[in-house]
Amino acid sequence: MACPVYLFTGFLDSGKTTLIKDTLNDEQFMDGISRTLIICFEQGETEYTNEFLDEHNAFIEFLDASTQLTVEKMHELDTLYHPDQVFIEYNGSESVSETLLTGMPDYWPLVEILTTVDASTFPVYISNMRSLMFEQLRWSDVVICNRCTPDTSGSLLRGNIKAINKRAQIFYEGNFGEPVELKNGLLPFDVNSEIIDVKDDDYGLWYMDAADNPDKYNGKKVILRGMYAEDLPGYKQTFILGRRAMVCCEADTSLCGITVTGVKIWEMEKGMWVQVEGTLKELPVENGGKTLVLYADKIQHYNGPADPFVYFS
């Protein structure tokens, strides 16, 4: 029978060990699980005591580097411990290895990657060590932002995480996993206003929220500003309006774009900045999901911002 593997990533002292211990204490998650193997690449302030391990029938193996966790090593550990599940507490300074991402044996499938983020240090890390944060977040299925306070900027956390990894689910917690309500919420504008005027600095936050929740904006009037980024072949009154967001560095960007229709694109040039006012409508797409299209009422030339990139703060 296959033994599911859960990978826990995040910087040292970001809460990985605490999350693993909380998971082992979760009776619903542990239902049917009798033996857990923890593979640990680093030790922070929180430790696994012998009493805790014995109580949860968990076993721990310490390795110095990800290169030591080969398929051969996995087979050795599987034979030695016969685990029902494996938790890997990764080194916060290492990129996730190719073995874990694509080379896991059938008997140890990687089923989920969870990343812990210390909300109190995140603004410093994302400003000064973005490439390291990129490696921590790029493959995550779930991101747990802990040590949040009511004054924590949820928009800064969410925006930057989603710029790196759009599919990640994000959860916000206070100390010790307690729930927290962020005073300023996640968005810097009122979605219920008569016209949602999305400022330059807020475009990325609006874009991520609209992509996740198109129904929230269906029928809403908005003002958006961005570049004439792309044509849509075969459409004479439609183009892609957008701005580029840095994923890792200036050489690695992704387009945050939305389809705009009802304009005279023959009077426009690619790369020009425009301001569009119109109504958003939710439409189905081929994969069964939904997307938003902006039906323009007004469009005019706009002097773009000094910094054309999208930032999430």
Domain for residue 186, yes or no?
A: no
Same domain, yes or no: 58 and 122: yes
pTM exceeds 0.85: no
Tell me if 142 sits within 8 A of 168, measured CB to CB: yes
Residue ending a domain, among 177, 212, 238, is: 177
For residue 30, give its domain range: 5-177
Q: Is 167 helix (H, G, I), strand (E, B) or coil?
A: coil
- What is the arithmetic mean of pLDDT over 56-84? 96
Cβ neighbours for 157, distance < 8 A, ≥ 6 positions apart: 117, 119, 122, 145, 170, 172
Domain for residue 306, yes or no?
A: no
Task: Lowest mean pLDDT of 36-50, 52-66, 138-152, name the range.
Answer: 36-50
- Phi/psi of residue 20, nearest 5 degrees: -65, -45
User: What is the Cα–Cα distance from 18 to 61, expressed in whole angstroms?
Assistant: 17
Same domain, yes or no: 144 and 266: no
Per-residue confidence (pLDDT) for residue 59, from 0 to 100: 97
User: What is the Cα–Cα distance from 181 to 236, expressed in whole angstroms?
Assistant: 46
Q: Is 245 helix (H, G, I), strand (E, B) or coil?
A: strand
Same domain, yes or no: 9 and 155: yes
Number of domains in the chain: 2
Domain for residue 113, yes or no?
A: yes
| Residue 156 CA: distances (Å) to CA of 25, 119, 266, 306 | 31, 10, 38, 21
Same domain, yes or no: 79 and 154: yes
Residue ending a domain, among 151, 177, 203, is: 177
Same domain, yes or no: 173 and 200: no
Domain for residue 97, yes or no?
A: yes
pLDDT band at 250 (very low <50, low <70, confident <90, very high): low
Domain for residue 184, yes or no?
A: no
Q: What is the CATH number of the domain that holds 286?
A: 2.40.50.140
Residue 280 pLDDT greater than 60, yes or no: yes
Q: What is the CATH number of the domain that holds 148?
A: 3.40.50.300
Alpha helices in 25-93 (DSSP H): 50-55, 71-81
Residue ending a domain, among 177, 211, 245, is: 177
Per-residue confidence (pLDDT) for residue 101, from 0 to 100: 94
Helix pair angle (130-137, 154-164), 10° resolution: 70
Same domain, yes or no: 205 and 292: yes
Residue 313 pLDDT greater than 60, yes or no: no
Same domain, yes or no: 281 and 202: yes
Domain for residue 307, yes or no?
A: no
Taking only the tens place, the pLDDT of each residue in 169-185 is 899 999 877 888 887 66
Same domain, yes or no: 23 and 141: yes
Same domain, yes or no: 173 and 246: no
Same domain, yes or no: 216 and 162: no
- What is the arithmetic mean of pLDDT over 148-163? 87
Taking only the tens place, the pLDDT of each residue in 12-49 is 889 999 999 999 999 999 999 999 999 999 877 788 99
Residue 106 pLDDT greater than 90, yes or no: yes
Per-residue confidence (pLDDT) for residue 19, from 0 to 100: 95
- What is the arithmetic mean of pLDDT over 130-152? 92
